[in-house]
Amino acid sequence: MVLARDAVDQIETHPVDVLVIGAGGAGIRAAIEAKAAGASVALVCKSLFGKAHTVMAEGGVAAALAHVDPEDRWQTHFRDTMVGGKLLNNPRMAELHAREAPDRVRELEAWGAVFDRTRDGRILQRPFGGHSHPRLAHVGDRTGLEMIRTLQDRAVALGIDVYMECTITRLITGGAVGGSGGARGGGGGPAVVGGFGYWRTTGAPVLFPAKAVVLATGGIGKAYTVTSNSWEYSGDGHALAYSVGADLIDMEFVQFHPTGMVWPPGVRGLLVTEAVRGEGGILRNKDGKRFMSDYLPEDRRGEYASTDEEAAKWVTAQSQGRVTDARRPPELSTRDNVSRAIYTEVREGRGSPHGGVFLDISYLPAEHVRRKLPSMYDQFKELADVDITKGPMEVGPTTHYVMGGVRVDAETGASTTPGLFAAGEVAGGMHGANRLGGNSLSDLLVFGMRTGAGAAAHAARIEAQPYVDPVQVRDAARELAAPLEREGGENPYAIQQELQDVMQRLVGIFRIETDLQDAIAELARLKARWPGVAIGGGRVFNPGWNLVFELRNLLVISEAITRSALQRTESRGAHSRIDHPETDEAGWGGRNSVVRRTADGSMEVTTTRLPKMPDELRVLLGGAH
């Protein structure tokens, strides 16, 4: 396919100040803030508006409101986040997050979000793993849905232009256009001046020239066979950022949520919210043993109940909204630790009939369970024919979240490539080596707002609409058409299945050098097959054609994860090396893995030091540092 200049000129075009790619919580919040700053905004999403994966964040949004425990403070939230992230978090991001999350939650309430309430009418908060106080503002177990509904209504009220069922396949770059206050380690080179994509409904190309581009595309879960993530999570934003030279950091840290459904096979990996454990759910193996106490880290064992009686006292107090001196149950250890514990129980032959363990909340009153966990009750009743008020659930680890992402400036969300910004799961730094439950929703509110403001400020410094190189547009259009014009090529579904198998087997919860080396070799072979992918049919509603470009992104991100995991010769947070089981503070403490695209197109993996933590923040960590 050859496009003449006049054909390029005829492509549907929507020039804007700020292009936001992704309409989950981070993307909508960024769009709202950019619009409020006076920028013209285009909000683009692969799915329908309001259908983003944020709706699957069920348990709550973490913020130190201190409504249930008056002792909670932003300083404690900061410490919990840093300790949970094994001190690999960007300290400034963790500070801003802890300080600003309460205001963002109150703002959401002012915009119409209806949270569960304490007896005196304030926002109710529940406990979650790794949080030292009940901290998660929630709406039963449907918090993400309420958040998206509220942000969606706000965006519509502001008149933000939304482009649904549209996929961006390439970022367009041009001459450097002003500084974006970029993240440390970058800021030079060509600037991002727009995005090229296509309508999934018609296949027609579309171009968005923009003074600033915000990535808010979520995660990478579809690189794995078993995942809680929806179909949208194909690493699009990570790969787009990498393609224009932006740094990716901490890509080895992939969180496997400890509790996904394991049966029936058709729903394997579907999320079972941490709220079940926050409300008192107990994990047992096939022998009926409550096993989590056996896996608590020694340096944090004192934070958890030492007996079933103490744990039960804590659960009773929480259900009644009372503060207690009892310590929280061992099931509320951090996600990385609980996942490894469940994996070990199953591997050593103590798992449930379908390869998981049992999660039981049926000892609590049925009405209480249905009121606090309505989605979980319906999910298990409809999909597994299990009544969670009468018996246990079967659960096991599922790929859930990537801590790594685009390196960004804490204040503005600017990447190391001028004109490119990122917020939410696609951005790295906030969560370090492991994310605490509930911090994702407050992350997207805090940094969605900051990134939208940063992108709008960057756009305001540029007077004229940036020049869009027609050669890049023509090349992007040719790449779009190639799989449809090719005959007798590779099946993208076959490559995706092989990719997911490689990542699930070789780059999972536990890793070892030989497996990682094998994975790199397998990924190289799969990557070499991608240019030969062919698809039948036309452009209209063609899921195989859609997969071609998502597969390209997944191949890039899978390589980044695997090479970063091979480089980090220690175990830290969600990254567990069988051949390097200890945490190596001397060699790896305070060091981020960095992935960059070199001039010849190859992938470079190196490290950089974390930003220095100010003394006033370091003292908040106590003995943890």
Domains of the chain: 11-253+403-471 (3.50.50.60), 257-397 (3.90.700.10), 488-584 (1.20.58.100)
Mean pLDDT of 252-277: 92
The predicted model gives 558-563 an average pLDDT of 98
pLDDT value, residue 353: 94
Over the stretch 342-369, which tens digit does the pLDDT of each residue have?
999 999 999 999 999 999 999 999 999 9
Q: If pLDDT is split at 50, 70 and 90, which confidence band does 299 have?
A: confident
For the chain, the distance separating the N- and C-terminal CA atoms, rounded to the nearest angstrom, is 58
- For residue 619, the model assigns a pLDDT of 95
CA separation for the pair 86, 553 (Å, rounded):
29
Mean pLDDT of 78-90: 97
Q: Contact 101/92 with Cβ under 8 angstroms?
A: no
pLDDT per position as a tens digit, 571-597: 999 999 999 999 999 999 999 999 999
Coil vs helix vs strand at 117 = strand
Q: Could you give the 3-state DSSP secondary structure of residue 375?
A: helix
pTM value is 0.93
Q: Sign of the C-alpha dihedral, residues 310, 315, 317, 323?
A: positive
Active site residue 257: yes
Question: Of 257, 327, 552, 563, which residue is the catalytic one?
Answer: 257
571 CB-near residues (< 8 Å, 6+ apart): 577, 580, 581, 582, 583
What is the pLDDT averaged over residues 73-85?
Answer: 97
Amino acid at 29: R
Residue 125 β-bridge partners: 137
% pLDDT > 70, the chain: 96
Going across the sheet that includes 393-402, the strands are 254-261, 393-402, 357-360, 282-284
Q: What is the pLDDT of residue 189?
A: 75
Scanning the structure block, which residue is given the tokens 């929806």?
Answer: 230
Give the tokens for residue 490: 């590779």
Q: Where are the beta strands (DSSP E) in 377-536?
A: 393-402, 405-407, 420-422, 427-428, 510-511
- Active-site residue 14, yes or no? no
Q: How far is CA 229 from the centre of its chain?
A: 9
Quick one: tokens of 465?
């609409």
Gyration radius of the chain's alpha carbons = 23
- With 60 as the cut, is the pLDDT of residue 187 above it? no
Question: What would the mean pLDDT of 546-563 be, rounded to a whole number?
Answer: 98
pLDDT of residue 4: 46
Residue 1 has pLDDT above 80, yes or no: no
pLDDT for the residue numbered 3: 47
State the chain's mean pLDDT as an integer: 94
Task: Identify whether the C-beta of residue 545 lies closer than 8 Å to the C-beta of residue 539.
Answer: yes
Residue 171's Cβ-side half-sphere holds a number of Cα atoms within 13 Å equal to 30
Provide CB contacts within 8 A for 216, sequence distance 6+: 20, 21, 22, 23, 24, 26, 27, 30, 237, 422, 423, 424, 426, 444, 448, 451
Is 91's pLDDT higher than 90?
Answer: yes
Does residue 185 carry a pLDDT above 50? no
Among 71-85, 269-283, 428-442, 500-514, the minimum mean pLDDT is found in: 269-283
The 3-state DSSP class for residue 470 equals: helix
CA geometry: angle at 533 spanning 528 and 537, to 5°? 175
Under 8 Å between Cβ of 238 and 405? yes
Is the bond preceding residue 264 a cis peptide, omega within 30 degrees? yes
Three-state DSSP at 271 gives strand
Q: Exactly one of 142, 277, 474, 511 is catalytic; which is it?
A: 277
Whole-number pLDDT of residue 182: 64
Whether 300 shows a pLDDT value over 50: the answer reads yes
Contact yes or no for 178/458 (Cβ under 8 A)? yes
Report the pLDDT value the prediction gives residue 7, as an integer from 0 to 100. Answer: 58
Contact 362, 389 (CB under 8 A): yes
Residue 451 reports pLDDT greater than 80: yes
Q: How far are the Cα atoms of 61, 494, 604 from residue 502, in angstroms, in the given order?
A: 34, 12, 21
